[in-house]
Structure 1
C-alpha cells in the first residue's frame, strides 16, 4: 500500500485516538519512519485534536493543556500512542460539546416556535374578540333600525328641562305591544353613583308617575337606545337623575327630560 492510500484509509486517526492494537501501532510507526508525508499527517491530526479538545473542555487547565501540547508538538518524532490512552476522554468532551450545542439549538428553536405560536394565539384571540364585538354592535344596530322602521311605534320627543336645558331624549312607544324604547343619546353621562330613571306619567286627573326602568346600561350601550318595562296608556314620559338603584318616586328637581304622548 502506498503512503497516500495508507493516509486515506483512516488508520492514522485511530492511531491518534489510541484505538489500535500493539501490532497496528508498530505498523504505523514503521510507515511514519518510512514516509515523511505519513508522519506529517499524524502531526496534523494531533494538532487538530488538541485545539478542538481545548476549546470544548472547560475543566482542562491551561497548565495541563500546555503539557499535552508540549508533549505532542515539542518533539521531532511522532508520538507513540498507546491503546486506551487519555485521548478517549477528549473525544468524549467533543461528543458532549456537540450534543450540548445540538440540544441548545433545538431548545432555542423550540422556544422560538412556542413564542410564534403564542403570538399567533394572542392575535387570534384579539381577532375573535373584535369579531364578537362587531357582531354585537351589528345586532344592536339592527335592533334599533327595526324599532325606527316599525310603523306601530310612536316617537315621542322628550325636551330638556330646567336642570339640563340642552338635554333631549326620545321614547318609542308601541300601543299594541305596550313596549317602550328610550333613545338616551341626548343625555349627558350620569355622574358616578347616579342613574337615569324613566317614568310613565298619567297627567289627569292627578299627576301619577310610575317607574318603568333604569337606564343602567347607558355607559355600555353603543346606540344608547335602551328597552325599558312595558306600560299601558301613558300620557307622558319623563326621565330623572336618581341615586344608583333608583328611587320610589321621581326627584322633580332632577327632571332632565319630559314629553307628552
Structure 2
C-alpha cells in the first residue's frame, strides 16, 4: 500500500486513539519505524489532539485572580487594571476563535463517525469470512457424501421400516473390498432426547448381531450420512433405537429398519 493511501485510510487516527487491536498496533509501529512520513503523521495527530484538549483547559478562577492581585499590590504597589478596548478587532478575533472551535468540533465528530464505520465494517468482514469458511466446510461434506454414494464398488443395502415405524427407511453403502460402511439415515425420524440410533451388522444363522457404531449428533448433521465401523462378513444390517451410549445387544422392540445384503 502506498504511503499516502495508508495515511489517508484513517488507521493512524485509530492508532493514536487506542482503538486498534494488538496485531494492528504492531503493524502501525513497524510502518512508523520504516517510514518517516508515517511517523511524522502520527506525531502531528498527537499534537493536534493535545492542542485541542489545551483549548478546553479551565480559566483562572476569580478567587485565585484576586489572591494573586493582592500579593502583587503588597510587593509592587497597586496593580493597574487594563480594560480591553471594545472595538471591532476584538469581536472579530472572538468570532474567528468560535468558528475555529466549531470547525474542529465538526471534524472531530466526523472522524468519530468514520472510526465507528471502520469498526462496523471490520465486524461485518469477520462475519462474512466466517460464513465463507462454513460454506466451504459444507461443500466439502457434500462432496464427500457424493463420492460415497457414487462409488461403483459399493454394495447398496436398502433397510426397510419395521413394526415400530413402518415409514422409516435407511440405506447402507458397503465397500466389501475396504470394508468401509456408510449409513444414509435421512429416512429415520429424529431420535427422542436421551436416545440414539445404533447400527448392527448381522449374521443370520445363527442370528449374531455386532454393533458397528452409533449415529450420534443426528439432529445437527444436515446430510444424515454417517461413517460407522468397518465390517467384512455381514449378511444383513439393522438399526435400533437405544439409550445414549448404546447397548451391548439390540433392543428388538425398537428395531426401526432391517435389510439383507
Answer with 1 or 2: which has the greater Rg: 1
**Is the CA contact 1:158–1:237 (under 8 Å) kept in the aligned structure 2?**
yes
Taking structure 1 as the reference length, what is the TM-score of the superposition? Answer: 0.62
2:150 equivalent to 1:149: yes
Q: 1:204-251: CA deviations, max 9, x gaps?
A: 12x221111111132222221111111121111111111222222221
**Is the CA contact 1:155–1:172 (under 8 Å) kept in the aligned structure 2?**
yes
Q: 1:98-129: CA deviations, max 9, x gaps?
A: 45423432332122112222332232223222
Taking structure 2 as the reference length, what is the TM-score of the superposition? Answer: 0.62
* Aligned position for 1:85: 84
The CA RMSD over aligned residues, in Å, is: 2.6
Distance 2:205 2:96 in 1: 100
Distance 1:209 1:238 in 2: 9
**Is the CA contact 1:213–1:229 (under 8 Å) kept in the aligned structure 2?**
yes
Q: 1:47-97: CA deviations, max 9, x gaps?
A: xxxxxxxxxxxx9xxxxxxxxxxxxxxxxxxxxxx9761769977865664
Unaligned runs of 5+ in 2: 1-58, 60-80
Unaligned runs of 5+ in 1: 1-58, 60-81
* Aligned position for 1:188: 189
Distance 2:235 2:246 in 1: 22
What number of residue pairs does the alignment pair up? 180
Higher mean C-alpha displacement, 84-93 vs 97-106: 84-93
Residue pairs, 1:196-211, within 5 angstroms: 196-205=197-206, 207-211=207-211
2:168 equivalent to 1:167: yes
